[in-house]
Structure 1
Amino acid sequence: MSEVTYSKEEKSKRVRGIIGASSGNLVEWFDFYIYAVFAMYFQHALTAPNMTSSAQAVYVWGVFAASFFMRPIGSWIFGRIADKHGRKNSMVISISLMAVSSFLFALLPTYEQVGMLAPFLLLLVRLLQGLSVGGEYGAVATYMSEIALKGQRGFFASFQYVTLSGGQLLASLLGVVLLMLMSEQQLMDGGWRIPFVVGGVAAIVSLLARSRLEETLSKDDEHKEEAGSLRELFKKHWKTFLLVVGYTSAGSLSFYVLTVYSKTYMTNLGIDGKIVGYMMTAALFVFMVAQPLFGAISDRIGRRAAMLAFSASVAIFIYPVMVIAMPYFSYSPVIVTLLLIFMMMLLSFYTSISGLVKAEMFPPHVRALGVGFSYAVGNAIFGGTAPAVALQFKGAGIENLFFIYVVVMLVICFLCSFALPKEPEYLHHDH
C-alpha cells in the first residue's frame, strides 16, 4: 500500500473539515437527546392529566421511538442530496431543520392550553427532529471518512461518536445544571423549555461553521445518473445494505441500552434520580474521551477485528453485568458507574468506527444514502425502540429476558462481522 504524504496546509484543511462536520453533529445530537433527559419534566404538561404517570411515560417514550421511524425517510432525502448535490449542502440543510424544530419544541402549547392538540404537536415536532437526525448520520459519516487522513481514518472518524456522545453528555450535564438552579417543580412548570432554546441557538452557530466546509464529493460522482438512487442501492449493493443493517441493529440496540435505558434501569434499582444524573454524566464523559483511542486501535488491528471484539465481548458481559452485578451493587453508585463504564468501553470497539465501517463498504455515488439509510432502518427497528421494548418486558415481569434479546442481536452481528475484509485499511484510494 503506497504511503500518502500531506502538506501542512492540506492536513490542517482536513482537520478543520473534521471539526466543522463534527461540531454540527454535536449540536444535532444534543438537541435530539434533550428529549430523553427532560422527558420526565414535560410529560405532565403535554399529555392528558387523567392518564396515570406510567401511561404518560409510555406515550412520551413511544413518541421517542416514533421519531426513529422518521430517520429512514430523513436518510433517504438527505442521502440523496449528499450524493447528488454535495455532502456540505446536505449537512447545512439538516442542521437548519434541527434549529427550527428545537425552537418549535420550546414553544409547544400545554395540554391545559390546547387539549388533545398538545400530545399531537409533541409528536409532530419530534418527527421533524427525527427527520433531521436521520439525514445527519449518513452525510457526516461519509464526509468524515472522505476527508480523514489515510492510515488514520479510524482515529479521525471516531470523532463522529465523540460528538454524538458529547451531545448526549451535554444534554445530561444541562439536566444536572438546571436541577441545581431550579426545583423539579419549576422544571415541570415550564423550565423544560429552556434546553430546547439553548439547542436552537447552538444549531444556528453550527450552521455558520458548516457553511464554510469544503466539499468532498467529486464532480464525476455527482453527475452520475444513478447518484443517490435507492434503485441503484438495492439493485447492486443489497448484500452490503443488509450487512450494514445487521451491524447497526446490534450496535444501536447496545448503545441505547447503555446510554439511554440504563438511566431508567438504575433509577428502578432504587438509586436517587439526581445521583443517576451524575453517574450517567461521568460514564458518558469517559465514553466520549475513549472514542479516538478505540478508533486508533481499529487502524492497527483492522475493522473486522474491532467489530468481532465488540459483538463477542458485549454478548458475553451484558447479562451478568446488568442483571446480576448492578442489582447486587446497587448500594454503591460508584461501583455501578464503573460497571456501566466497563460496558461502554466494550461498546467503543463499535461506536468509534461505526460510521467508517459503513462508509468504506459503499461506492461514493451512493455512499451517503447507503450509510444513512441502512443505519436508519437498523436504528429505527432495534435502536430507538430499546427503552420502550425494555419497559414492555419489565411490565410483563420478565425484564431479564430483554437482555437475552440483546445478546441474540449481538451474536447475529458477530456472524455478520466475518464479511468484513481482514486488513486494517481497505479503502486503497485516497479521496
Structure 2
Amino acid sequence: MTSAVLSTQTLTPELLRAWAWHRQGLDGSLSGKTSEEVLDRAGWARSVGGANPYLTLFARAGIRREQVDRDVAELRIHELPTARGCTYVLGRNDFAWGLQVGRDAAVAPFKVLARLGVERGEITLLEEQVLHTLLESSDPMDPKQLRDELGESVRSLGEEGKKKGASTTLPTALGLLQADGRIRRVPVNGRLDQQRYAYTSWVLPPSGLDDDAARALLIERYLRWTGGATFKQSQWLTGFTVAQSKAALAAVGAVEVTTAAGEPLWMLPDDVEHLSAFTAPQEEQIQLLAGTDSLVLLRRNSADMLAEGDRGRKILDTTLALQADLSDHPILDRGRIIGLWQYDPGKERIAAWTFDKPTAAVTQRINEVESWIREDLGDFRSFSLDSPASRQKRIDALDSANS
C-alpha cells in the first residue's frame, strides 16, 4: 500500500522539511487557533524555564503573552512533567494521560533515596503530610515554606544525599504527588519563563487508559506532530523501551516508508496519503523559533534542516550540522534553517546571522519578533539559567558572522 502511494524518490530532504513545517502549523494553518488547539496540533511545548512556550504559540497563532498567562491561570494549558519526566506545556485534555506516561520518571528518584536508607513508607507519610498542609493553606506554598511548615518530617540526607542530587526527602514526595495529579506546580508570578514555583493541591481525575493505551496515544500524537519519524527519534521523545515502542507503533497501525536518502520513517497511514498529495509552498514562509521548538526538538534533527551547502557552516568553531541540539535559535524558511539568532536585551534587539543576504520577508519577520519580545517578554531566555551575560559571547559571534 505504502509504495503505491508514495514514491521513495519524491521524499527528498526539501519536501520532507516542508512537510514537517506544515504538520507543525508553521505555514499559517494554525492562525487564530487557541493555545490548547496549537499544542494539540503541533505538539507540547518544551519548558525549561525559558521562553519557548510563548514563541511556540506566537509563531503559529499570534497569541500574545498576556493571553498565554491567562490560559495558564485558568488551567486551559499547564506545565507538567510527562514523557521521560521532562516538563512540557500541555493542553487540558492531555493532563491526565500526559502525567501517566511520565510516572516512571517520577518514581525513579526513590531508588536513590532507597540507597540512602529511606523506606517507601517514610515517603508515603510525607506525601500525605504535604497534601494536608496544602489543603489547609489558602495560598500556594513554595518548597521553603513547605519545609518550614513540615519541620522534621522532611529529612535531610546530608552530604551523601547532596552528592547524589537528593539533599532532602521533599522533592521526591512532591514529584510523586504531582505525577499522581494530587498537587500541581504554579508559577509564582504567573509566567512560564521565570522558574520560580509554588505548589497547590489538585484533584485531577485519572485518564481512564491503561499504560499500553497511554503509550499508544503518545506515539499517535508524536507521529502526527512530526509527520513521520525514525524509530530512534520516537524513543528519544517517549523514553519507551524497544518492546513498548514496537507495541505502540503496531497499536496505531503505523507504517514504514523509505525516504530518498534511504532513511526509514514511521508514519500514520492517513499521513502517508496526505503526504502523497502534498506540494511544498513556492513563496517564502519565514519564522524565528526557539532552539527547543517542537519542529527541532521532537526529532533532534536540526542537521536535516540545513541545505546541503550550509551544512559546513560554523559558529564559534562548531559546525552546525554536527550539533545534536542548536546552541542558538533558528531562522527558518519552510522548514529550512537559513540563519540563527539571539536576543540582546541591553540593546533591545535581535542579533541575527542569515547565511545569505536577508530578503524583505526575513527582515520583516525579524522586526516583528523583536518588537514582540520587547513588548511582551523583555528578554528571550533559552532556559532557566540563561542570562544576557551568559549569551553575550554568542551574540557577538552572530554579529561577527555578518561582517
**TM-score, normalisation: structure 2:** 0.23
* Relative contact order, higher structure (CA 8 A, sep 6+): 1
**Higher-strand-fraction structure:** 2
**Higher-helix-fraction structure:** 1
Larger radius of gyration: 2
